[in-house]
Amino acid sequence: MLTLYSHPFSPHCRFVRLVLGEYDIGAREIEEKPWERRKNFLMLNPAGDIPVVVENDGPAICGAAIIMEYLDETRGYRFPKKRLLPDSPETRAETRRLVSWFLEKMDRECVGALVREKIYKLDMPPDMGGGPPDSAAMRAARANLKHHLRYIGYLAASRNWLSGSTLTFADLAAAAALSSIDYLGEVPWDEDANAKTWYARIKSRPSFRTLLADVVRGLPPAANYLDLDF
């Protein structure tokens, strides 16, 4: 049995949840607020970051990319026709590159700031970083987001899926990131029709249903968030 320590709107955690859904893996989820730096959680992951997965009485598997590799090695072989890390070395490398792009570069340049300023800060006490949103940080994030959305549109237009001919971890990483801020109405879908069409394909998958059920207390989702045909 897997236990997932996560936050509902963390892009990295949403990525792991999508992977679990695609591989039909059940998991017990424990909500973790990393800014609280709970002692028991720090014993699992001294870095204090989420997500973290623990399987039965095994060691903690820390970090989205590490969990991705762990799940591929322990479960992916069971799904040869829909394995999320393809067999081709070239496509595997491209998949890993894009996962890094979406979960690191895109998170650093836009998604992470919007989630932090508009969602996390609502729940943070002032002594842990809470307070009003930083408008300058959000302006920069919105500007950067347009470039990332166009890049996703370019990939979607030139390939069947983002890293090649089949659905991979790359698609789930990008979708997880965008879904975190789509809830906020922060994704300018009119910027790129190809990105929007690709996202609609992902959003309609069964693995996405649990993400669409997430809510922020006191902050309802944007009008198009639950619409599969937006």
Q: Where are the domains of the chain?
A: 2-78, 89-212
- Give the CATH number of domain 89-212: 1.20.1050.10
Element (H, E) at 196: helix 193-203
From 198, 189, 187, 101, select the one nearest 159 (Cα to Cα).
198
**Mean pLDDT in runs of 10 for the chain (230 residues)?**
97 98 96 96 97 96 98 90 92 97 98 97 91 96 98 98 97 98 97 97 96 95 90
Q: Which pLDDT belongs to residue 155? A: 98
CA distance 141 to 143: 5
Which tokens sit at 164? Answer: 């090649």
Q: Which pLDDT belongs to residue 172? A: 98
Q: How many CA atoms lie within 13 A of 12 on its CB side?
A: 25
Write the CA distances from 167 to 10, 87, 185, 205, integer angstroms: 22, 13, 25, 11
Q: Which pLDDT belongs to residue 230? A: 77
CATH of 2-78, one of 3.20.20.70, 3.40.30.10, 3.30.450.20, 3.30.2130.10: 3.40.30.10
Q: Which pLDDT belongs to residue 24? A: 94
Contact 82/167 with Cβ under 8 angstroms? yes
Q: Which pLDDT belongs to residue 81? A: 83
Q: Which pLDDT belongs to residue 109? A: 98
Q: Which pLDDT belongs to residue 91? A: 95
Which residues lie closer than 8 Å to 197 by C-beta, 6 or more apart? 156
CA distance 204 to 1: 27
CA distance 78 to 64: 21
- pTM, two decimals, is 0.96
Q: Which pLDDT belongs to residue 72? A: 95
Q: Which pLDDT belongs to residue 104? A: 98
